[in-house]
Chain A
Amino acid sequence: MKTTAWAWLTPLILVPGAADAHLVSTRFGELYSGLLHPLTALQHLVPWIALALLGGLQDTRTARWALIAFPISVGCGVVTADLAPGVAYATSVNAASFVVLGLLVAIKKRLPLIEFMALAVIIGITHGYANAATDVQGFGALLYVSGVTLAAYLIITLGTASSHSLAGGPAWGSIAIRAVGSWIAAVGLIYAGFLATT
């Protein structure tokens, strides 16, 4: 099972060029461009899912706060990139987020509210930063930011609730979540290694 998952995840992660060819400029308008940008790029989608899984493993109050903190942070990150472009280490933080979040899910780590919020905010801002679109101006830019923020809200809400439900359900639920966390951490290591060598 693990081998199969690795087989399809690894090439996708290791080909960022192909992942970048997502539907950024389709006719669906800037809102949809913003919405689809992170959803069609595995280097964003996977850590977001990992954060949602981790959120589901926390207590309900902590998980609830992430629904607000993470999308707002992502939106702020996109705006920050527009105001102060060229921060190179955002990509490194994003690569690290793969591993860190994956490991935290794998060990089913429960974090205090403040620490989980800090994690969600940092990851939100750096991933939002990486999702900025330089060629969108004016009202289109507002729609684009709204789209990326909406994507963050959808992933964190649906993912956290699913994880929470699964973790609180049958015994295999927690095991499955932790297994997914270990895969994400492993893929994150490969991705980080790939980035380091290129």
Chain B
Amino acid sequence: MMSDARLHIAIILLAALLLPNVCWSHETPIALLEVRETPNGSYLAHWTYSSSTNMQPPTAVFPAHCSFDEPRLDCGERGLIGQLSFERLGKSYSAVVVRISRIDQAAQSFTLTGAQPSVALTPDGKLPLSQVMASYVPLGIEHILLGIDHLLFVLGLMVLVTGVRSLIETITAFTIAHSLTLAAATFGWIGVPEASVNAAIALSIVIVAVEILRERQGERSLTGRFPWAVAFGFGLLHGFGFASALTDIGLPQENVPAALLFFNVGVEIGQIGFVLLVLALVWSHRRLKALLPTWSESVGIYAMGTLASFWFVGRIFNMVITKVAI
């Protein structure tokens, strides 16, 4: 008869094989609009987009003096300056990256989001800092809130630690670590394959779940004694995950440090919001003496570990499938 552990693994493997779509890491679909100036002064616009649900990109609304008959864009003598905006941005696509290549000028790129669906095009192509902030802070918040794996890891850390000081140390260590690798990977100083990172992120949740259970059983582990160290170590890993999302979104070449900073600020806002919400719920339950039975905590931890194992196996499986296909 199959042991419980083997049965557990078999169910996860089977589910991962049957439900491969669920195993993808969270998607942040981005559409790219390239606008290239032609020698006669008009422009050619070309969309590049892909999403798991094959959605159409948002509708581009060019400045009023421009006439757009896809792919041809004619802006007359005034040229391509003025307000460019996108309808339905944020509904299907998180962001649109606009790349404008003018003759005799370096290409300009802008990232627009549902929160900031328009940009004022200027002849020199420089973006005000407020525009970079309005674009990248919401993207950072969206990424962390859509990233159930990141949130689950933070939740695991919160369960693992005891006391406010330890919680602050642990969350701070996680923040510093993922900020470091986010910056390093974005600037291209280090690089790790995205698929491997996503699989490792899932594994980090499994490890935290196991460590929580060990702590519950009275085993004093390294993680229990130094949770901030574990948070820091795995935080480095999660930073690569954030970086891959940011790289997918694209960065304005003139404002890379600002875009990176504001994306990270968005991630931190989302993370702090999540931590505060969990703490508020814990306080509320204690206040109302609505405490869950002890066994439910174990069920939650096992569920977290099982889900993360499922992601891990699924992501490894997808990696293997991709390599075989290549």
Taking beta carbons and an 8 Å cutoff, which residues of A are in contact with B? 25-29, 32, 60, 63-64, 67, 154, 157-158, 160-162, 164-165
Contacts and interface: CB of A to CB of B under 8 A. Distances in A.
A54 to B, nearest CB: 14
Contacts of A29: 146
Contacts of A25: 91
Given A32-B145, A157-B281, A158-B280, A27 B91 contact: yes
B96 to A, nearest CB: 12
Contacts of B142: 27-28
Given A26-B91, A27-B90, A67-B290, A157 B285 contact: yes
Q: Of residues B94, B142, B287, B288, which shows the largest number of chain A Cβ atoms within 10 Å of its Cβ?
A: B288
Contacts of B283: 161
Contacts of A165: 287
A124 B287 CA distance: 23
Nearest to A160: B288
A64 B91 contact: no
B114 interface: yes
Contact of B114 (A27, A32, A67, A160): A27
B92 A27 contact: yes
Q: Of residues B29, B91, B280, B284, which shows the largest number of chain A Cβ atoms within 10 Å of its Cβ?
A: B284
B122 to A, nearest CB: 28
Nearest first, the 9 closest Cβ-Cβ pairs linking A and B are: A161-B284, A161-B287, A64-B290, A157-B284, A27-B94, A25-B91, A64-B288, A27-B90, A161-B288
A27 B288 contact: no
Contacts of A26: 90-91, 114
Contact of B287 (A28, A32, A164): A164
B289 interface: yes
Interface in B277-326: 277, 280-281, 283-285, 287-290
B288 A67 contact: yes
Given A28-B145, A157-B281, A158-B280, A164 B91 contact: no
Contact of B146 (A28, A64, A157, A160): A28
A160 B287 CA distance: 9
A70 to B, nearest CB: 13
Contacts of B285: 157, 161
A27 B93 contact: yes
Interface in B248-267: none
Contacts of B114: 26-27
Nearest to A55: B288
5 contacts: A27-B114, A28-B142, A28-B145, A63-B288, A154-B281
A60 B91 contact: no
A165 B283 CA distance: 11
Q: Of residues A154, A158, A161, which shows the largest number of chain B Cβ atoms within 10 Å of its Cβ?
A: A161
Given A27-B90, A28-B146, A164 B288 contact: yes
A60 B92 contact: no
Interface in B92-108: 92-94
B259 to A, nearest CB: 19
Nearest to B115: A26
Contacts of A157: 281, 284-285, 288, 290
Nearest to A32: B145
Contacts of A32: 145
Contacts of B290: 64, 67, 157
Nearest to B148: A31
A29 B147 CA distance: 11
Q: Of residues B114, B285, B290, which shows the largest number of chain A Cβ atoms within 10 Å of its Cβ?
A: B290
B149 to A, nearest CB: 14
Given A25-B91, A26-B90, A161-B284, 14 more contacts: A27-B114, A28-B145, A60-B288, A63-B288, A64-B290, A67-B288, A157-B281, A157-B288, A161-B285, A161-B287, A162-B284, A164-B287, A164-B288, A165-B287
Nearest to B291: A64
A14 to B, nearest CB: 27
Contacts of B284: 157-158, 160-162
A60 B288 CA distance: 6
Nearest to B280: A158
Nearest to A162: B284
A163 B17 CA distance: 48
Contacts of B90: 26-27
A32 B92 CA distance: 14
A168 to B, nearest CB: 9
A26 to B, nearest CB: 6
Nearest to B290: A64
A158 B281 contact: yes
